[in-house]
Structure 1
Amino acid sequence: MKVGIFTSSTPIGAISPNRAQRAIEFLKSKGHEIVLGEMFYQNDFYRTGTILERANEINELAKEKIDLLLSSIGGNNTSSILPYLNYDLINKNIKAVCGFSDSSALLSTIINKCPDVKVFYGPALFPNFGEFEQESREISYNSLFNYPQQISYQGFVYDGEANWEHYEQPRQLKSLVWKSKNVNQDTNLISGVVKGGNLSTLSGIWGSEYAPIFNQGDILFIEDEDKNIATIERLFNLLKLNKTFDHLNAIILGTHKNFDDQKTCKQPIDVLLEVLNGQNIPILYDVNISHDKPMLAIRLNSLITIDFVQNKIINEWI
């Protein structure tokens, strides 16, 4: 498989060259051809380059026949490049795109403008394939490159950020089990087209031609990282005010890494239930399609079924 790497925001190649090498070698060891975008090692302080330079990186990659366009990492500024991408070329030459966090802006746009491209919310090069921990890399790799018919998880996620660029110490583990709310015997199996991404990123393109379009019966997927409870209430309320919840069959809520509860002892699921204010939408939560590692992948804009009895996701389009 030919994998093209784009770096549309944080200059991570310049910041973490050792992790870059680990990640590239890992994917090469799986038999993939890696094509680095021209911004991969560039550094313009908070970003890899100008808006037009970063857009041109993807346009240049799209001139090749790319099986998977893979994000290096997230950041804050991918949305800036959206008006300058060649969507006809992307739709013609790129089979699939994957990323998470700030890449949500690009993923949403590709769904809207490139109907022939498969879109995955899932692992990125540096965070997931540059790990020292082989088990974490393999779980994320198989979730994306061997996309399964069913997605479920009972196991662990890593606690903390040790071993990013250099190996420091064994990382602590914490157990993880997917959970559900607002479920009864009539809602054991819920189907719909899954849409969404990183909510703080999507809030920056909300109302534009690049934002997700929700239809009746859709399933909303959202996740975030490093936010406090006040910010999360504001983001969830954005969905309430825009009547997004009114369209939904179900919600998938990813784990929230480094969540600041501001001494409330509440979690994002508690805030979501309060904002819903009695809207009885079934919710699958604490799902590690998120910033936690190991991270799983999900194909956006695809038909899925959520089994709320076994807390798993069934992919109807493989």
Structure 2
Amino acid sequence: MRFLKKGDAVGLISCSDGWNSSDKPSLDYIVRVLSSLGLNVRIAETIFQLKNTPFSGSPIQRATELMKLFRDPEIRMIFDVSGGDSANQILPYLDYAAIQQSQAVFCGISDLTVVTNSLYSQCGHRSIHYRIKNLTGDCAAEQLNWFKAAFMKDGSIPAIDYHWLRGSQMSGVLIGGNLRCALKLAATRYFPDPTDKIILLESLGGGAARTATLLAQLDQADVFSKCSGILLGTFTTMEQSGAQPSVRKQILGITAPYQLPVAETSQIGHGEDAYGIEIGAMLHFSASANLQ
């Protein structure tokens, strides 16, 4: 499958907290990079923070701008540049029936985990756990090569490297993403059914105690007792600080009663070298080969 080809249109939007006006050079750079690939870039009206607010628009305004992109028949991918706290405000205002019919693929990480998982739970629409801003970081050249290989060539998104912490194989539709943000959907209609799913977990901030309490919430919500396995991405702050107990120890401990397969990858998360992975896709992981 090829997501993009020259001449296709892509959209940029902020569904979570808006960008500060000082971030405009980063936006301009992303536009230049995408344009250099022969893509037509369309920028939503909800990108930058409105005066005296952290938001790029009201929840309805942000949802309306997102739906404009989904309804545009020329747009093939939608890249959300934002992050923060407020993306779940838009969920009640999205037209999931229209999204189900759209060819556009939504991409975002961090707080956009609430959007990617809601698109899957409400209408089975696949998304990409991917951060377009990585095209502007220290690993920009490598990221551009990955972008072209993943989105502009025939085939599938390149397989990630991983190793096993427990078990040797697992299969299932991938859900989850950022640990803290995924749990915003708990006890709502937007939380995907975890039964027989692979749960992706990664995080930017938070120490050992915060991670422990969030994992406990997942366990108490019967996620670990129902899912088919865990894909553990990077936990940036914990890994940089050497916080103990490590997320690996915590995951293995809390899932021990279920003997869940647990695979770990350094290629999914908040790092500027991180790649993307498809939410809502059936994936297969095995010890014999790093195949999705």
Q: Using structure 1 for the length normalisation, give the TM-score.
A: 0.81
The Cα shift of 1:224 comes to 1.0
CA distance in 2, matches of 1:198, 1:130: 21
Relative to structure 1, is the Cα distance of residues 263 and 135 closer, same or farther in structure 2, using a 3 angstrom cutoff?
closer
Q: Secondary structure at the match of 2:82?
A: coil
CA distance in 2, matches of 1:262, 1:134: 25
Report the alpha carbon displacement of residue 136 of structure 1 after superposing the two structures with TM. 3.3
Separation (CA, whole Å) in 2 of partners of 1:231 and 1:86: 34
Q: Describe the shift of the 1:86–1:112 C-alpha distance in structure 2 as closer, same or farther (beyond 3 A).
A: same
What's the CA shift string for 1:167-196, capped at 9, x where partnerless?
Answer: xxxxxxxxxxx432112xxxx332222111
Q: Could you tell me which residue of structure 2 aligns to residue 294 of structure 1?
A: 273
- Rounded to whole Å, the distance in 2 between the matches of 1:12 and 1:266 is 34
What residue identity is the alignment partner of 1:200? R
Contact 2:143 2:275 in 1 (8 A): no
Instruction: Give ranges in structure 1 of 5+ residues lacking alignment.
Output: 154-177
> 1 or 2, which has the higher helix percentage?
2
Cα distance in 2 for residues equivalent to 1:89 and 1:149: 25
Matched residue, 2:198? 219
Report the TM-score when normalising by structure 2. Answer: 0.87
State the aligned residue count: 281
Contact 2:139 2:273 in 1 (8 A): no
Give yes or no for contact 2:10–2:39 (8 Å, CA) kept in 1.
Answer: yes
Q: Displaced runs of 4+ in structure 1, greater than 6 A?
A: 260-263
Cα distance in 2 between the residues matched to 1:99 and 1:302: 16
Task: Say whether residues 1:135 and 2:141 are aligned partners.
Answer: yes
Structure-2 residue corresponding to 1:91: 100
1:259 to 223, 238, 248: 238
For the 8 Å contact 2:139–2:272, the answer to whether it is kept is no
After TM superposition, give the deviation of residue 140 of structure 1 in Å. 4.2
**Secondary structure at the counterpart of residue 258 of structure 2:** coil
Offset, 1:262: 7.8
Relative to total residues, which structure has the larger strand share, 1 or 2? 1
**Partner of residue 50, structure 1:** 58
Q: Which amino acid aligns with 1:180?
A: W
Q: How does 1:220-299 map to 2 (within 5 A)?
A: 220-259=199-238, 265-299=244-278
Aligned 8 A contact 1:42 1:49 in 2: yes
Q: Does 1:18 align with 2:18?
A: no
- Please list, as runs of the form range in 1=range in 2, the aligned pairs for 1:39-78 lying within 5 A after superposition: 39-44=46-51, 45-65=53-73, 66-78=75-87
1:213-272 CA deviation, whole Å, 9 max, x = no partner?
A: 122x32111111111111100111112111111122221011111227987543211111
**CA positional deviation for 1:277:** 3.6
Superposition pairs for residues 56-205 of structure 1, below 5 Å? 56-65=64-73, 66-115=75-124, 117-124=125-132, 127-131=133-137, 133-142=139-148, 144-145=150-151, 146=153, 148=156, 150-153=158-161, 178-183=162-167, 188-205=168-185
Q: CA deviation at 1:105?
A: 0.8
Match of 2:190 in 1: 210
- Contact preservation (8 Å) 1:22, 1:131: no
- What CA deviation, in whole Å up to 9, does each residue of 1:57-83 have, x standing for no partner? 112223312211211121110001111
**Is there any run of 5+ residues in structure 2 with no aligned partner, and where?**
1-7
Q: Where in structure 2 are the equivalents of 1:32-43 lying within 5 Å? A: 32-43=39-50
Over the matched positions of the two proteins, sequence identity in percent amounts to: 19
Find the aligned partners of 1:226 and 1:19 in 2 and give their Cα distance: 22
Whole-angstrom distance in 1 between the partners of 2:76 and 2:205: 32
